[in-house]
Amino acid sequence: MRLTGTTHSIELITSAATSVDWHVAFNNISASDSTALDGQGKITTATTTSIVAAPASSEQRQVIGLIVSNNGTAANDITIQKNVGGTLYPLYKVTLAAGENLQFSPNMGFRVNDAQGRDKMVTADSPPITARTIISNRISGTPAEAAGIRYWPNKDNGFPAAFVPGTPGLSGRAVVGTNAADAGCLPLWTPSGALWLRRLTFSCSIVATCELIDLLLINSGIVVTTTTAQTLNTVTLPARDANGATNGDGVMAGLLVTTATTNAGAFTNCTISYTNQAGTAGRTGTMGSFPATAVIGSMIPFELASGDSGIRSVESITLGTSMVTGAVSLILYRVIDVVAALNANNAQSSAMISMPYIRLWNGSALFPVTFSNGATTGASITAALVEER
């Protein structure tokens, strides 16, 4: 911190009437020499204190050290600011708990020590851990449709129990992981703080990849023999898009096969009409290919229109080709994390070694969706290390 004008000074603001001690060291620099100076004081009120006065004409002052200590019994908001002729420029603001101190040096900048003299590393992005647990999913599924076709193992019993879509109708229902009706997802709890995914681990008896998704909406009642548009007008999403809102940022759509279909061949004319994350209606989502005789548990995603990053609602679906028999549900979901098991029965992890982790919004309904290198049965284990902060 350097003062270069006769109207420049450094001030300390205290917010509470606690005991705050300060000490500052600075050099007063003139054209001919440099003089080491210091200052100190004790503050016991909520006030603004000048701790480095303005230099004289043709001189400068350079702060080389500052310590502000909260020696009281209650927290105090501390602000260091520069005053330039009455215009204030806050340089640093922090809440010092009792016993903590704020330090400044030209090499280290501002930092805070706790009451034991240790660097205080906790920030808004890295709050303290209040709970940590591993939640797991263990399922021995039936054969998937084919290599590269996503498969929903939670249709089968295992741990937790099988997920039951129910009969919410064409408009669907919001899926909330903490509701009894949505049992079958990885079991989370309602936190007092916030939940974060720390690590995702996946193992499968065959080579496969796992997408961990948050299921936001599921519907029923799509007529699989109707090839014209069917009106859906899906319900409002829960506030669990990428930003913890209902706008649909990062939300995808797919068809989940709940009863095997009998269409003789694959077809590529299945579409949805949707409203995107920005609220623009009439957008068209396309499906690369819906497979022939799709087995139960197959999950086929829609591709979004160019430039879109999510789906807020779906107004209609057009199958285009009859599935003959069977049942499918529209799902809206958000991908949380992805991990690949490159070898059979060899667990792989997606480890996040530093903040920020992946935020899990309250009510998240987490399910593993797998896709493998073949149409074979795969017993899988998915484990998520979740922290509450």
Q: What is the pLDDT of residue 389?
A: 78
Tokens linked to 4: 């270069």
In a 3-state reduction of DSSP, which class is residue 182? helix
User: Which 8-state DSSP code applies to residue 357?
Assistant: -
- Enumerate residues 6+ apart whose C-beta is below 8 A from 294: 145, 257, 260, 261, 263, 300, 323, 326
> Of the ranges 97-106, 115-124, 278-287, which one carries the lowest mean pLDDT score?
115-124
CA distance 247 to 253: 14
Q: 162 vs 174, which has greater pLDDT?
A: 174
The strand pairing partners of 72, in sequence order, are: none
Cis peptide before 55 (omega within 30 of 0): no
Strand partners, 348: 202
Angle at 94 between CA 92 and CA 95, to 5 degrees: 160
Distance CA 184, CA 160 (A): 5
What pLDDT band is residue 71 in, cutting at 50, 70 and 90?
very high
Which H helix or E strand runs over 380?
Answer: strand 379-388
Helix, strand, or coil (residue 155) = helix
| Confidence check: pLDDT of 131 > 60 | no
Average pLDDT over residues 52-78: 92
**Is 181 buried (19+), middle (13-18) or exposed (0-12) by CB count in 10 A?**
exposed
Q: Between 145 and 98, where is the model more confident?
A: 98
Cα 223 versus chain centre, distance: 36
pLDDT of residue 372 exceeding 80: no
Please give the Cα distance from 75 to 109 (Å, whole number): 22
pLDDT tens, residue by residue, 41-58: 999 999 999 999 999 998
- DSSP symbols for 299-323: EEEPBPPTT--BEEEEEEEE--S--
> Quick one: pLDDT at residue 139?
59
Nearest Cα to 298, choosing from 257, 330, 350?
A: 257
Q: Which of 6-20, 62-76, 157-171, 234-248 has the lowest mean pLDDT?
A: 157-171
pTM for the predicted model, two decimal places = 0.67
Q: How confident is the model at residue 377 (pLDDT cuts 50, 70, 90)?
A: low
Cα–chain center distance at 189: 16
Higher pLDDT, 330 or 201: 330
Return the bridge partners of 256, or none: 299, 329
Is 125 a residue whose pLDDT tops 50? no
Say what the pLDDT of residue 354 is: 47
Which of 248, 333, 257 is closest to 283 using CA atoms? 248
Task: Evaluate if residue 356 carries a pLDDT over 60.
Answer: no
User: Percentage of the chain with pLDDT > 70?
Assistant: 89
pLDDT value at residue 31: 85
